[in-house]
Amino acid sequence: MARNIARLVLLIALVVGVGASWTSVARINAHDITMQVGAGGVLEHVPAGGVPAAPSGLVVSYLSTSSLRLTWVNPATDETGTRVYRSLTGTGSWSLITTTAANATTYDNTGLTSATRYYYYVDNINGSGDSTDSNISTGLTTDLSDTVLNANGTWSDDFDYGAECAMNAATPAVDCNSLAPNGIVWSDYDSGNPLNTAGYYQSVVTAAANPNTLSPYGARFWNDDGTNAVTPKAKINLEAAEPELWVRWYMRYQPGFAWSSGNPNYDKTIYFWENGPGGVSILFEHASGTFMILSGSGAFTEVPASPTISWQDVFGATSDGLFHLFEMHVKMDTDGTDGIAQAWIDGVKIIDSSTADFNGMLGIKRGDFHSNQSSVSNSGPEYIDYSDMEWSINPSQISPDGDRWIGPANNYLGG
């Protein structure tokens, strides 16, 4: 203690001796007391604990054509406020627009221009300095709502229906359609049969929940061995065909799930149509040893992962039984050469094309999951679970690559 006091006195003498116009940034600690010497040799107290913890999970939501709401997670207990920064590009020209009071987790930015995209990030401050920055999030001052999408242009289903249910009220004896949100239909429209060939029911159950996200339920589909092993589907219908769309979901295969050739001959996860089955479609699938985005009817155009990434690369030689994060972004082409196709698995971009040809599709209105596989080899039916599905025409998050995306639920990147 005496040594700390002696060093403190010496530091003050040195600072005062060089004149009141000089400002020192030197600091000294005497046990749990932190002091710094400021302008004119004035000794200032610095709050114990250093700079505050950083805010995270920033989300920007539509409020009106002139206002957006920011919400974030604030783990700090010693910050004096949170600074809010705004930009029109997300890559520069950031302006500090306000500093909130301590412990804030929300801010409404008003007086904005309609039909304009804004980008934001926040950080925490105290007398010791400022935290690292939060993630960047973006919002649009346009109401994008319709009968399916909310004002932010998003439809989501975490399958938290408040009870277990089954397709066609099989087992459990509650029809999922009576509980599901607008936009999703639990019905095998091909056969009207909620069973696969071994008698297993497609359902929403607690056993299918993703333990890394927040919903206590997940969607469970059963798959049989063989080729063209078609799983009864759930379908999502938007109000209108959207020319640009992001889709995120988590998926796991039953532990030990296997394919006769190690990787699937094909594994068609989600079909997308402009109006419905028939005609040109877009698929997210695994084929020819890699994940890809596929489009066409009869003749197909492939946009494969580059470098290739196989089912086994993600799930293991046989399934690891873990939920993995998938996201796809497509924007329809205007001339057969300028479509956008992007995909991420577990937060890593695997597909990134700006020259995609979607074979004349003008937009996506409908999607079906889970569809069909080839070369399944499990000696009986095994489950495939989905959780936290979201569709968006206006995602608010920015990926590690700098692209707009929906991003992970509850910060879980999968695997």
pLDDT per residue over 38-59, tens digit each?
445 555 544 456 999 999 999 9
The mean pLDDT value for 327-352 works out to 96
The predicted structure's pLDDT at residue 226: 82
pLDDT tens, 373-414? 888 899 888 899 999 999 999 999 999 999 999 999 999 999
Work out how many domains the chain is built from and give that number.
3
Q: Are 204 and 218 in contact (CB under 8 A)?
A: yes
Instruction: Check whether residue 366 and residue 278 sit in a common domain.
Output: yes
Supply the CATH number for residue 127's domain.
Answer: 2.60.40.10
12 assigned to some structural domain: yes
Question: Using an 8 Å Cβ cutoff, are 167 and 202 in contact?
Answer: yes
pLDDT, mean over the chain: 86
pLDDT, residue 99, reads: 98
Residue 4 confidence (pLDDT) above 50: no
Residue type, 187: S
Tokens 């039909």 locate to: 115
Domain end among 111, 140, 169:
140
Of 257, 200, 242, give the one whose Cα is nearest residue 395: 242
Query: Same domain, yes or no, for 212 and 238?
Result: yes
Cβ burial 124-147 (10 Å sphere, 16+ → b, else e): bbbebeebebbbbbbbbbbbeeee
* Mean pLDDT, rounded, for 290-310: 93
DSSP code at position 53 = P
SS3 content of the chain, % helix, strand, coil (to 5): 10, 45, 45
Is residue 40 located within the same domain as residue 86?
A: no
State residue 21's pLDDT score.
34
Same domain? For 121 and 245 the reply is: no
CA distances 63 to 60, 66, 86, 135, 327, Å, are: 10, 8, 17, 21, 26
Residue 251 CA to residue 285 CA, distance in Å, equals: 13
User: Does 80 fall in a domain?
Assistant: yes
pLDDT band at 201 (very low <50, low <70, confident <90, very high): confident
Query: Residue 191 — pLDDT band, cuts 50, 70, 90?
Result: low
Burial class (CB in 10 A: 0-12, 13-18, 19+), 257: buried
Question: Average pLDDT for residues 334-338, to the nearest whole number?
Answer: 89
Closest CA to 218 of 210, 228, 230: 210
* DSSP code per residue over 293-362: EEEEESEEEEEE-SS---HHHHHTTTT----EEEEEEEE--SSSS-EEEEEEETTEEEEEEEEE--TT--
Report residue 15's pLDDT band, with 50, 70 and 90 as the boundaries.
Answer: very low
Which residue shows structure tokens 């709050």?
A: 47
Looking at the structure, do residues 251 and 108 belong to the same domain, yes or no? no
Domain end position, chosen among 140, 175, 209 = 140
Rounded Cα distance between 174 and 165, Å, is: 5
Do 136 and 188 fall into the same domain? Answer: no
Residue 40: predicted pLDDT: 53
Closest CA to 352 of 394, 291, 300: 291
Phi, psi of 359 (to 5 degrees): 55, 45
Residue 331 shares a structural domain with residue 398? yes
* Same structural domain, 218 and 104: no
Structural domain includes residue 145? no
Query: d(Cα 130, Cα 363) in Å, to the nearest integer?
Result: 45
Q: Specify the residue for token string 């994008």.
A: 144
Q: What is the residue-wise DSSP string for 122-190?
A: EEEEETTEE------EEEESS----SSS-TTSEEEE----SS-EEGGG-SSSSBGGGTSPTTEEE--TT
In a domain, 316, yes or no: yes
Asked whether residue 306 falls in the same domain as residue 329, the answer is yes
Q: Strand locations in 47-94, DSSP E?
A: 56-64, 67-73, 81-87
Under 8 Å between Cβ of 344 and 399: yes
The CATH number of the domain where 239 resides is what? 2.60.120.200
- Asked if residue 200 and residue 64 are part of one domain, the reply reads no
Q: Do 363 and 231 lie in a common domain?
A: yes
Q: Are residues 25 and 65 in the same domain?
A: no
What's the one-letter identity of residue 180? A
Q: Which domain holds residue 24?
A: 2-46
Among residues 118, 140, 162, the one where a domain terminates is 140
pTM: 0.84
Within-domain flag for 51: no
Dihedral over Cα of 88, 354, 411, 160: its sign: positive
Q: Is residue 94 part of a domain?
A: yes
Structural domain includes residue 90:
yes
Mean pLDDT lowest among 135-139, 177-181, 231-235, 260-264: 231-235
How many residues belong to the chain? 415
Q: What average pLDDT does the segment 266-271 reach?
A: 89
Is the residue at 358 inside a domain? Answer: yes
pLDDT tens by residue, 170-184: 788 899 999 999 999
Beta strands in 2-42 (DSSP E): 27-30, 33-37
